[in-house]
Amino acid sequence: MAIALDQRLHLSQSIGMKILITGGAGFIGSAVVRHFSRGCGFGVINLDKLTYAGNLSSVEPVSNLPNYIFEHHDICDEAAVDRIFRAHAPDAVIHLAAESHVDRSIDGPAPFLETNVKGTFTLLECARSYWCGLPDSARDKFRFLHVSTDEVYGALGAEGQFTENSQYRPNSPYAASKAAADHFARAWYHTYGLPVIVTNCSNNYGPFQFPEKMIPTMILAGLEGRQLPVYGDGKNIRDWLHVEDHAAALYCILTKGVPGEVYNIGGEAERQNIEVVESICEVLDSLIPNGSSASYRDLIHFVSDRPGHDYRYSVSCDKLKNELGWTPSRSFEEGLIQTISWYLENRDWWRSIQKRYDGRRQGLG
């Protein structure tokens, strides 16, 4: 086993940069792992605790590649994280591990403080200690990419967009924990010079998303003939980005971004929740008609609102477009068809999750 690991490390060194990706068994993390290990040929070390949201089958397409290694640990475990830095000597970190669901943060905020704040702090400290010991040329090239959310900026009214200069006004326990982590990341750049870059991204959708988030919740409920639970009046607005476009944006920022800077990432696809749900129904109607003349729309059901529900998110990604040349590659409509088709073709993936997750309404406090 030890010999196999050494061989893998040696091979990945010859392939190019080695990236430590935290949370690589999650929704976005697994897309980033697939993008960097298969698409870019980087050495990838995936550090993940495998919480309810972690799923190794999401990285199964790359798990046998010689440039991929999995480390099953908690980012709060300082000794383990420290060892991982020294054993694998990464050239960069992409930090995605987090508790990520707003509804869960309403019901139980403690794990959000633990993983998102203390875990980020632990990772920053271990990265700093490792980075301080690097030779000058490697220190200059090292990057710590901290992946965060637009939700740290709070809620917008009908007008305006979040920019990198928007004030932090987190409203949910999830957003508060991510905001705190962003501040730690920023402080480690300003105080210690650790080459940190922070990204704040809008809502992601796509294959391999855990079915507690809105889009997979609606797809699976539709496929199983259950009600589609729309919170409140369904008029809340989110800006949707396909997860593979997010992975491409992170590649662009890791390779071209400037340490100490913040980059917002958005999908330029603002939709009311009810519009998204209606679009899902339309795609389901065309891909797998119900048999009778009934539409999946008949399953739409308005339920009580989320406490403190942010009204609108909208992200300007002008800085990322103008300075680093990134743009989203697909429209929301194309991405939604691809995503729904993926859930139709990968029933085993979500059925195995359903054995341990019953889909019950969360976040009523």
123 binds ligand NAD (CB under 6 A): no
Pick the catalytic residue: 174, 251, 263, 296? 174
266 binds ligand NAD (CB under 6 A): no
List contacts with ligand TYD (CB under 6 A): 102-103, 203, 213-214, 217, 229-231, 236, 238, 273, 306
Q: Which residue, 291 or 355, is less far from ligand NAD as judged by CB?
A: 355
Whether 150 is catalytic is yes
Helices within 1-77 (DSSP H only): 2-15, 27-34
Q: Which stretch binds ligand NAD (CB under 6 A): 7-15, 71-79, 247-255, 331-339?
A: 71-79
Q: Which of 201, 228, 254, 299 binds ligand NAD (CB under 6 A)?
A: 201
Q: Which residue has the tokens 């809008």?
A: 202
| Residue 29's binding partner out of ligand NAD, ligand TYD, none, with CB under 5 to 8 Å set by partner kind | ligand NAD
Q: CA distances (Å), 161 to each of 164, 199, 238, in order?
A: 10, 16, 12
24: left (phi over 0), alpha (psi -120 to 50) or beta: alpha
Single-letter residue type at 289: P
How many other C-beta atoms can be found within 10 angstroms of the C-beta atom of residue 288?
13
Q: Which of 27, 144, 263, 326 binds ligand NAD (CB under 6 A)?
A: 27
Whether 192 is catalytic is no
d(CA 1, CA 340): 40
The residues facing 146 across adjacent strands are: 95, 198
List phi, psi (to 5°) of 103.
-60, -45
Q: According to CB under 6 A, which residues from 206 to 265 bind ligand NAD?
A: 210
Tell me, residue by residue from 98 to 117, as one string, x for binding to ligand NAD by CB under 6 A and - for no binding: xxx--------------x--
50 binds ligand NAD (CB under 6 A): yes
Contact (CB, 8 A) for 320 and 263: yes
Tell me, residue by residue from 143 to 172, as one string, x for binding to ligand NAD by CB under 6 A and - for no binding: ----x-x-----------------------
DSSP 102-163: HHHHHH--HHIIIIIIIIHHHHHHHHHHHHHTS-HHHHHH-EEEEEEEGGGG--B-SS--B-
| Residue 54's binding partner out of ligand TYD, ligand NAD, none, with CB under 5 to 8 Å set by partner kind | ligand NAD
d(CA 163, CA 175): 16
Whether 313 is catalytic is no
Of 68, 61, 82, 63, the C-alpha closest to 7 is 68
Pick the catalytic residue: 48, 71, 150, 164? 150
Element (H, E) at 92: strand 92-95
Question: Shortest gap between Cβ of 244 and ligand TYD (angstroms)?
Answer: 18
Q: Which residue, 234 or 260, is less far from ligand TYD as judged by CB?
A: 234
Which residues are designated catalytic?
150-151, 174
Residues lying near ligand NAD in the complex (CB under 6 A) are found at: 22-23, 25-29, 48-51, 53-54, 74-76, 96-100, 115, 119, 147, 149, 178, 201, 203-204, 210
